[in-house]
Structure 1
Amino acid sequence: MPELPEVEVVRRGLVNWVRGRTISAVDVLDPRSIRRHALGAGDFIGNLQGATVSDVVRRGKFLWMPLTDGPAAPENPETAALPDVALMAHLGMSGQLLMQDQDVPDEKHLKVRLRLSPRDGMPAQLRFVDQRIFGGLFVTALVPTDDGGPGGLAESPLPLIAAEAAHIARDPLDPAFSFDLFYQRLRKRKTGLKRALLDQGLVSGIGNIYADEALWRARLHFARPTDTLRRNEAQRVLDSAREVMLDALAAGGTSFDSLYVNVNGASGYFDRSLNAYGRQGEPCRRCAAAGISSTIRRDQFMNRSSHTCPVCQPRPRNGRW
C-alpha cells in the first residue's frame, strides 16, 4: 500500500495541475473503479461534469478534491459558498492519478478519465489507472471537522472533511496536529507502541514502513508498553516519524513497486535510505558506526513484520505486541 509520503507527493502534484479547473467531461471505462459510488455511473458523472476543483486535500492516506459549482472561480474566495461535496480518491494497492495530454495513448489499465478545462501549458486530462482494481473514485459529502480546524493539509484549508475520513486522527505532518492530545490518548491505550502508531484513530498516516523507521530513529522497541512511555519518549518517536516522512517526501516517496508513481509518472527512491525496514540480517548502521556488531532482526507482527536492532532497540521485559 502507498504510505503518507506517497499520497502527499500525489497531492502536491495534483494541486499544481487541477486546482481551479473545471471538469468538462467524464469517461468511466471500468465501473468497478467507481463501485464505492453507490448511485452508479450516471450519478457519478452528473456530480462531476461542470464542477470546478477548488483544492486537493489530504489527511493521513486519504485524498479528496472539494468541488464547487460552475466553471468560474469567484473573485473573492472568502465570500464564496463552501463546497459540500468532494471527489474522493482511494489509491488502494495500485491506483495512480496521472496527468496526461489528450494525444497520449490510453494506459493499459485506465479506468476513469476526467477531461479538464484548458489551461496553457497544462495537460488536458486527469486519468485514474489501476491495475489491481483495489482502489477507486467516488463522490462524497464534506462534513464539519470535530475540532473546528482544517480538514487536512491543503492550499486553502477549510474546516471540512470528507465523510469517509472523519473517523481518523490528524497525521504528524498536519499543522493542526496536537502532541498533547496524542500523548494523552497514547498513555490510555495500554498496548504496544507500534500497534498504537498504526492505530489511525490515534495518529493517521503512519504505516508499517515508517513505524519501523521512526522507532529505529527513536531507539524504541515496537513492543514497548504505551502506558510506560515518558513524555519525552513519546515526543521523540513522533518527531522521528515526522522526520522520516519528510525525508521520504523529499525523495518522492518509498517506491518498492513501479506502480507507486507521482502524477508525472516518476517513482520515489527513499527505499535506498531505509535503516530498519526490509534489512533483516544486515548490520545496524548506527551500531556499526559506533564499532558495535549487531544485525537487524525481523519479527512477525500483526500478520506483517517488524524490523529492529536488538542492541540499540532492546526489547522491554514487559513488552506488549
Structure 2
Amino acid sequence: MPELPEVEVVRRGLAPRTVGRTVTGIELLDARIIRRQHGGIDRLRAALQEVTLTAVVRRGKFLWWRLADADGADTGEALMGHLGMSGQLRIATGDGTAFTPAAPSQGPASDPLRHRRLSLHLDDGARVDLIDQRLFGGLWTSALVEAPDGALAAMGSPDALLPTDAAHVARDLLDPAADLPAIARALRTRRSGVKTLLLNQQLVSGIGNIYADEALWTARTRFDTPGSALSQRRALAILRAAREVMERALEVGGTSFDALYVNVDGRSGYFARSLNAYGREGQPCPRCDRLLRRVIYQGRSSHFCPRCQRRTM
C-alpha cells in the first residue's frame, strides 16, 4: 500500500499538471471506484461540471483537489482520492497516450487498459486516470470543514479547510503544523505496542508497515514495546526517526517493491534500496551484523534486529 512518501510524490506530480485546469468530463469505466460517492455518478458529474482544480492537498494517505466554479468561487467541496492497496493516479498526455516508465518495474503491474477505472478529462486535452487493480481506492466528493486547530489543513492547502471525510485523520509528520511533543505524549498514554500506535491514523497519519519498521529500527525500539513504557524522549526519537526516513524516501520517489506503486509518470521509487530492516529478514543488521528477523504481530509482518531492538516491558 502506498504510504505517506508515495502519496506525496503523487501529489507533487499532479500539482503542476492539474492545478488551474478545468474538468471537461468524467469517464467512468467501473462504478465500484466511486462507491463512496453519495448519489453515484450523477452527483459526481454535477459536482465537477466545469469546475477548476485550484489546489492538490494531502493529509496522511488522503489526497484531494480543491474546486472552484466558473466564477472562481470555492464550491465548498473537495474531490477526494485514496489509492488503497494498488491505486495509481496517472497523467495521460494531450494526445491521449499515457506516460510509460523510464525503466520497467518488476512485480504484478496494473494494466493501464484493463485496470483503468475512471478518468478526469481536462481542458488542455490531458486526462487523469485512476488505475486500480484491487479496487480498494476511489474518488468521491466531500464537503469542506475547518480544521479544529485553525492551521493550514494539510500539505498544499491554501487555508484551514479540509474534507469532512478526512477530518478524523491526524496530521502527519511532514505537516509543519504537526505537534510532535503532543503526539509523543499521546503515544505514552496507550498500552498497545508502539508499532500499532504508529499505524493508528487518528494519532499520527501516513505511516504504514514499511516506515514503522524503519523508524523503530532507527530508534532501537522493538515493535511490541507498550506506548506506556516509552519515555517522552524515546517517543520523540521514534517520531523524528519516522519523519527523517520518510523525508529520505520522498527524495528518491518513495518505495516500490513492484509496479503497483508508481508516480504520475509511471516511474518507480527507489527507496527500497536504502531500507535497513523492512523486507530484509535473514540479512545482517546494518548496525550490528546480527541477522534480522521477521515475526507476525497483530496480523502484520514486523522486521527487527533482536540485538539492537530488545524487548522492553
**TM-score normalised according to structure 2 size:** 0.92
Q: Counterpart of 2:9 in 1: which secondary structure?
A: helix
Q: Does 1:251 align with 2:252?
A: yes
Gap change, CA 1:98 and 1:261, over 3 Å in 2:
same
Give the C-alpha shift of residue 139 in structure 1: 1.1
| Kept in 2: contact 1:6–1:249 (CA 8 A) | yes
Q: Distance in 2 between matches of 1:69 and 1:275?
A: 48
Give the Cα–Cα distance (whole angstroms) in 2 for the partners of residues 180 and 6 of structure 1. Answer: 25
Distance 1:172 1:203, change over 3 A: same
**Equivalences, count:** 299
Where do 5+ consecutive residues of structure 1 fail to align?
74-80, 289-293
Deviations 1:209-239 (A, max 9, x none): 1000000011111122212222221121111
Q: Deviations over 1:233-260 (max 9, x none)?
A: 1121111100110111111111112021
- Which stretches of structure 1, 4 residues or more, deviate above 4 A after TM superposition? none
- What one-letter code is carried by the residue in structure 2 that aligns with 1:176? A
Which residue of the partner structure matches residue 266 of structure 1?
267
- CA drift of 1:133 comes to 1.7
Quote the sequence identity (%): 52
Deviation at 1:82, TM superposition (A): 4.5
1:295 aligns with 2:291: yes
**CA–CA separation in structure 2 for the residues paired with 1:69 and 1:238:** 40
Instruction: Give the equivalent residue in structure 2 for 1:29.
Output: 29
The residue number in structure 1 matching 2:85 is 93
Distance 1:241 1:44 in 2: 37
1:131: how far off? 1.8
Trace 1:130-141 onto structure 2 (pairs within 5 A). Answer: 130-141=132-143
Q: Distance in 1 between matches of 2:302 and 2:152?
A: 33
Q: Is the 1:84–1:142 contact (alpha carbons within 8 Å) kept by the matching residues of 2? A: yes
Structure 1 residue 127: Cα displacement: 1.2
Determine if contact 1:192/1:222 at 8 Å carries over to the other structure: yes
| Aligned counterpart, 1:16 | 16
- State the shift of 1:58 in Å: 0.5
Tell me, which stretches of 5 or more residues in structure 2 are unaligned? 99-111
Residues in 2 aligned to 1:229 and 1:31: alpha-carbon distance in whole angstroms: 46
Kindly report which structure 2 residues correspond to 1:1-321, keeping only aligned pairs within 5 A, or say none: 1-70=1-70, 81-101=73-93, 102-104=95-97, 107-118=113-124, 124-154=126-156, 156-288=157-289, 294-316=290-312, 318=313
Contact 1:9 1:262 in 2 (8 A): yes
Larger Rg: 1
Q: Report if the CA contact (8 A) 1:83-1:142 is conserved.
A: no
Q: Tell me which amino acid in the other structure corresponds to 2:280.
A: R
Deviation at 1:13, TM superposition (A): 0.5
1:86-141 deviation per Cα after TM superposition (whole angstroms, max 9, x unaligned): 111121122111111233277332211111122xxxx6111111222221111111
- Structure 1 pair 61/126, CA: closer, same or farther in 2 (3 Å)? same
TM-score (norm 1): 0.89
Q: Distance in 1 between matches of 2:85 and 2:232?
A: 36
* Letter aligned with residue 94 of structure 1: S
Deviations 1:54-111 (A, max 9, x none): 10111110111111111x65xxxxxxx5441011112112211111123327733221
Q: 1:302 deviation in Å?
A: 1.2
> 1:161 is paired with a residue of what secondary structure?
strand
**Cα shift at 1:157:** 2.9
Q: Secondary structure at the match of 1:223?
A: coil
* Whole-Å separation in 1 of the counterparts to 2:129 and 2:192: 42
| Contact 1:150/1:160 (<8 A) preserved | yes
Are the counterparts in 2 of residues 26 and 49 from structure 1 also a CA contact under 8 Å?
A: no
Deviates more, 1:184-193 or 1:270-279: 184-193
Q: CA deviation at 1:191?
A: 2.0
